[in-house]
Amino acid sequence: MKKEFSGNLSGLKPHERFQMSVKALARGDRAFHRQLVRSCPPEEVVECHDLLEATCECVIQVQLAMHRILGRWDLINALMLQPLNLDSKHVAYFHTTYREYPDLLEEICEVVEEYLDLPVEKQAGLEGNDGPRRSELVASALASSFLPYLDHVHSYAVQGVYVSDETELETEFYDSMSCMIACFFLNRARGLIAESLSGVWPAFSSFCRSAMRLEPDIVMKAFGSPWAVSLIEEFSYELEELDVDHDIDQAWGSSFRDTWQSYNG
């Protein structure tokens, strides 16, 4: 890439130079970034510098919001997900298959919610029940909630459904049930973070594409801290699902525009 542009860097327009600089920083090519800076005509140095400074300021705003969200994700991991001791194959299924089938996702959530609610309803007013009685209630909930659903999806070979590699009927049932519960809690936990990001990220994405004509993940890689880039990569699927063309948070949009205009008039 250096060779391709080295003969004509001085002829770049300010915004072209800015875009190339950001992309160079994003891929870790600081040598080419410095080459772009050194070749900038004197009369355009201030404009190019201001474009980069404005972008950096916008990223700082995003990171301030994301820092609170990262803390929330750490808390959710510690209190919700880690105690579940999720099986790695269930987590892999969630990421590779489960989320690609919205109807399946909705159905599984309904089944698990029914299971989680049923023991509570049945135990209401039964204080003092011993352990075996409560175990019986839970077993009853398992049978009434999971068995009919699992029988249905496997009988009709529903696309996307988790297929256990267990060979015994009982262990296969518990493996499938555990996978459903894992997917339910993963979806809920990640949904909370996606909701937290739904204000700042669509506004930032829209602004990057309209004002900078750059993709937001490129901008974050160029100026963001490693933890912020990692968080964006961790939730890339959820962020892609956010509609960046509608329901843009006006407060965030105004903040980015004001920052940009304070540097670039």
pLDDT digits (tens, 9 = 90+) for 207-227: 999 999 999 999 999 999 999
- So what's the pLDDT on residue 133? 58
Residue 62: Cβ within 10 Å count: 26
Domain parsing of the chain, residue ranges: 2-76+199-264, 87-196
pLDDT digits (tens, 9 = 90+) for 15-69: 999 999 999 999 999 999 999 999 999 999 999 999 999 999 999 999 999 999 9
For 41, residues 6+ apart whose C-beta sits below 8 A from its C-beta are 10
Q: For every residue of 88-152, which 3-state class applies, written as one string? A: HHHHHHHHHCHHHCHHHHHHHHHHHHHHHHHHHHHHCCCCCCCHHHHHHHHHHHHHHHHHHHHHH
- So what's the pLDDT on residue 123? 46
- So what's the pLDDT on residue 34? 93
CA distances from 156 to 108, 150, 151, 152, 159 (A): 16, 10, 9, 6, 9
| Beta carbons of 62 and 220 less than 8 angstroms apart | yes
- So what's the pLDDT on residue 125? 43
**Residue ranges for the chain with pLDDT beneath 70:** 1-7, 118-142, 243-246, 265
Which helix or strand (DSSP H or E) is residue 235 part of?
A: none
Residue 111: Cβ within 10 Å count: 20
- So what's the pLDDT on residue 1? 42
Per the document, the length of the chain is 265
- So what's the pLDDT on residue 257? 96
Residue 83: Cβ within 10 Å count: 10
| Beta carbons of 157 and 62 less than 8 angstroms apart | no
The pTM of this model reads 0.83
